[in-house]
């Protein structure tokens, strides 16, 4: 509060004008108030790994996710949310930095982005920004999916231990599927990092706090190998498992050769796919079980928040780092520029919002979460420029005009542009794909060569980045 005694020598009239001006500015733009002048939102930032649309958007029948179903009724759900890169590490780097891969060079897993990209080494991450703005920051689980340089993980989060870069705690070697990421097995709850990290988040929510908080929790599930407690497998009957509606045996006949090189690099579809339908069903059941396991873990934490004194002042963000193929395009896992790999679950609950429970169909990017939280929490901007744009206009009016298609890249020059209706893909060699989601939601028919659609392609090409940063060393699988 400004002390009137400081202004008495300038006259009472000047003081009244100044006070009225201050009141007007504060009331007309509350999001710009100084940190100590508003009640700041807490943030619960929940991440799952490799969750696709099957359960969250009900694109696949009988995937049981009751906790997230209940949460979506209290939140704004984005039906067209897309990752910046269709693999774990670069997607998370983009979300936590607010910078697209085409600006950082972090396109692939194994790229060590936080130590190798000059931009990412200097950028202020989302948790670092919250911490500088006076928040308590707490992080557990699979957050960055990459090691940060020495000391930097401590700059992100106040809690200890952090298990190095956000990984762990791991079960003993007798309770791990050794040397591979393909298969399924059941283990007791107590052996799972997800269970331990969710419990740590729950304990954090139970404690009294003297500052607003940012709580980040990252789960491993439903990422392969498909391990979960037995009760989640028991939720499904193998005889009721259906093959994906998006599978088409000859679906790769009209796609470019470069696109084909991204499909099934580990040879998993031949051993868990069309020629082995029983194994395919087993893997689908296991993936469903891991989705249900993740749903339960997330549900426990949201329930604790909702029963706490922080419920009415905490923004909840739920998202997955990328989507996942389960046979679509004859492919298991992600690392493609197709809808199945790029589409991710996203729901945001803003306390007291009149739009909670509604659905947004505009295409959005996970990169935009950074600016959105800065906006709602009234933070001072990060120390560097970011690509992120606030989703607040959509969150407050789901029908608002949003002229920002979602951009997903996978290497220098290979990019997908997703508008409300179309997905356009251009590869580094100039080859193209175009899909009309109004008539072809599973992207069965590549219509890039239809001359009548040349204007559509021209319009979508406007959003292709003008420059692509040099690829950091990594792998496309």
For 185-197, the pLDDT digits (tens) are 888 898 898 999 9
Average pLDDT for the chain: 89
Q: Which of 330, 237, 328, 324 is nearest to 275 (CA)?
A: 330
DSSP 328-393: GGG-EES-SSSHHHHEE-EEEE-TT-TTTT-EE-S-EEGGGHHHHHHHHHTPPPPSS-------HH
Residue pair 270/198 in contact by the 8 Å Cβ criterion:
no
Residue 11 has pLDDT above 60, yes or no: no
The pLDDT confidence band at residue 20, using thresholds 50, 70 and 90, is very low
Catalytic residues: 88, 145
Determine the Cα–Cα distance for residues 203 and 361; give it in Å rounded to an integer: 36
Fold of 42-397: Alkaline Phosphatase, subunit A (3.40.720)
Determine the Cα–Cα distance for residues 270 and 274; give it in Å rounded to an integer: 7
For 275-290, the pLDDT digits (tens) are 999 999 999 999 999 9
Q: Is 169 exposed, middle or buried (0-12, 13-18, 19+ CB in 10 A)?
A: middle
For 371-396, the pLDDT digits (tens) are 999 999 999 999 899 999 999 999 99
The pLDDT confidence band at residue 183, using thresholds 50, 70 and 90, is confident
Are β-strands 346-349 and 136-141 bridged in parallel, bridged antiparallel, or unpaired?
unpaired
Please tell me which residue, 18 or 277, carries the higher pLDDT value: 277
Rounded to an integer, the average pLDDT of 260-278 is 92
Please tell me which residue, 378 or 164, carries the higher pLDDT value: 378
Residue 167 has pLDDT above 80, yes or no: no
Q: Alpha carbon 92 to chain centroid distance?
A: 7
How many Cα atoms sit within 13 Å of 203 on the Cβ side?
A: 9
Please tell me which residue, 16 or 284, carries the higher pLDDT value: 284
How many Cα atoms sit within 13 Å of 229 on the Cβ side?
A: 15
User: 55 Cβ partners below 8 Å, 6+ apart?
Assistant: 63, 64, 65, 68, 288, 291, 292, 295
Kindly report the number of other CB atoms within 10 A of residue 209's CB atom. 14
Q: Which residues of 295-333 are buried (b: 16+ CB within 10 A; e: fewer)?
A: bbbbbebbebbbeeebeeebbbbbbbbbbbbbbbbbbbb
Range in 51-65, 105-119, 240-254 with the lowest mean pLDDT: 51-65
Determine the Cα–Cα distance for residues 345 and 322; give it in Å rounded to an integer: 8
In the chain, where the domains are located = 42-397
pTM check: above 0.75 = yes
The pLDDT confidence band at residue 175, using thresholds 50, 70 and 90, is low
């Amino acid at each position: 509060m400004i002390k009137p005694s400081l202004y008495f020598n300038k006259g009472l009239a000047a003081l009244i004008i100044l006070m009225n001006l201050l009141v007007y500015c504060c009331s007309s733009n509350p999001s710009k108030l100084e940190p100590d002048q508003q009640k700041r939102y807490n943030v619960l930032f929940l991440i799952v790994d490799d969750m696709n649309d099957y359960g969250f958007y009900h694109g696949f029948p009988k995937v049981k996710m009751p906790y997230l179903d209940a949460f979506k009724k209290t939140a704004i759900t984005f039906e067209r949310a897309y990752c910046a890169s269709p693999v774990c590490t670069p997607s998370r780097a983009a979300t936590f930095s607010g910078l697209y891969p085409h600006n950082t060079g972090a396109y692939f897993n194994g790229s060590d982005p936080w130590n190798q990209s000059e931009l990412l080494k200097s950028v202020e991450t989302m948790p670092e920004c919250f911490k500088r703005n006076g928040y308590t920051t707490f992080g557990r689980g699979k957050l960055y999916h990459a090691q940060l340089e020495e000391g930097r993980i401590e700059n992100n989060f106040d809690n200890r231990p952090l298990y190095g870069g956000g990984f762990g705690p791991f079960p003993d070697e007798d309770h791990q599927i050794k040397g591979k990421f393909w298969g399924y097995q059941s283990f007791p709850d107590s052996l799972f990092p997800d269970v331990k990290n969710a419990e740590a988040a729950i304990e954090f929510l139970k404690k009294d706090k003297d500052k607003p908080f940012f709580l980040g929790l990252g789960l491993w599930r439903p990422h392969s190998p498909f391990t979960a407690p037995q009760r989640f497998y028991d939720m499904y009957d193998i005889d009721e498992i259906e093959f994906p509606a998006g599978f088409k045996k000859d679906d790769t006949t009209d796609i470019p050769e470069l696109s084909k090189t991204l499909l099934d690099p580990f040879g998993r579809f031949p051993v868990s796919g069309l020629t082995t339908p029983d194994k395919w069903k087993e893997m689908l059941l296991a993936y469903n079980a891991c989705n249900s396991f993740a749903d339960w873990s997330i549900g426990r934490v949201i329930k604790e928040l909702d029963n706490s004194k922080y419920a009415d002042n905490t923004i909840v963000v739920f998202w997955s780092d990328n989507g996942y193929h389960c046979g679509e395009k004859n492919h298991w896992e992600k690392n493609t520029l197709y809808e199945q790999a790029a589409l991710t679950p996203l729901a945001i609950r803003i306390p007291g919002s009149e739009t909670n429970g509604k659905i947004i169909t505009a295409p959005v990017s996970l990169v935009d979460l950074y600016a959105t939280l800065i906006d709602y929490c009234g933070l001072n901007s990060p120390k560097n420029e970011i690509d992120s744009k606030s989703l607040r206009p959509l969150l407050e009016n789901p029908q608002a005009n949003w002229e920002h298609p979602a951009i997903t890249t996978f290497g220098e020059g290979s990019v997908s542009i997703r508008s409300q209706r179309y997905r356009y893909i251009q590869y580094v060699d100039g080859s193209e794909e175009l899909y009309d989601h109004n008539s072809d939601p599973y992207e069965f028919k590549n219509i890039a060569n239809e001359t009548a659609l040349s204007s559509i392609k021209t319009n979508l090409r406007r959003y292709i980045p003008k420059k692509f940063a040099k690829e950091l060393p990594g792998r496309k699988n």
